Amino acid sequence: MSQQLIWNLAGIVYKEQAVNFLKRFEASLCVFSGSVEQVYANYNIWPVTADNSKLLVLPNPDAHHDTYQAICTEAVVRTGLFIVPGEALGKTGLMLAKSNKATGKFQFTPLAIGLKAVAERMPKGEPFLPVITNKDLRELNKAAPILHLHRVKPSLLKDLSRFDANSLQETIQAKMNRFLMCA
């Protein structure tokens, strides 16, 4: 089994809160596993220790069509964007955080508004396709979970057919759009 399927939360203080936060995204964010070069669109998150210090992220074995193969690690890049629970900031809903390069502090915006703005600023023909990876679950000031986003760059999917690349793009966008409509 790939070590990237086991997420270690040893450095997180409020593990149960972090697990519950991460599980909110099972239906809306795809997971990328670099060691096997796969994206999982249909998966479950299972605690494997009593103290929630380790999680197992397993693709649904009955949904092979929701596992995308040959996703090279170069095609999945960091965004510097984070999803934060609004409660951690005295707000409701989910927030998108981006570090201000000048001050080093985070700027926050409601998630749906922030993701729409990011998508609109993408270069023409390059959609914003967010995914999460192992080690993307962190804590904000040791007080609240925070989830870093990576993104898939379709132009770098050199080992996928155009059909498979389009299918991956549509799946990632559809999952996120369904989530944002309910958020």
For each of the chain's 183 residues, which pLDDT tens digit applies? Answer: 456 688 889 889 889 999 999 999 998 999 999 889 999 999 999 999 888 889 999 898 888 889 999 999 999 999 999 999 998 888 999 999 998 888 888 899 999 999 999 999 998 888 999 999 998 999 887 788 999 999 999 999 988 899 999 999 999 999 988 777 765
Element (DSSP H or E) covering residue 76 = strand 76-85
In Å, how far are 37, 166, 170, 176 from 41, measured between CA atoms?
Answer: 13, 14, 11, 11
Q: Which domain holds residue 67?
A: 3-182
Partners of 133 in the β-ladder: 32
- Cβ proximity of 116 and 158 under 8 Å: no
Handedness of CA 52, 54, 55, 58 (dihedral sign): negative
Tally of domains in the chain? 1
DSSP 3-state of 160 = coil
For position 52, what pLDDT does the model report?
A: 87
For position 125, what pLDDT does the model report?
A: 84
- Cβ proximity of 101 and 118 under 8 Å: no
Tokens of residue 63, six digits: 């949904």
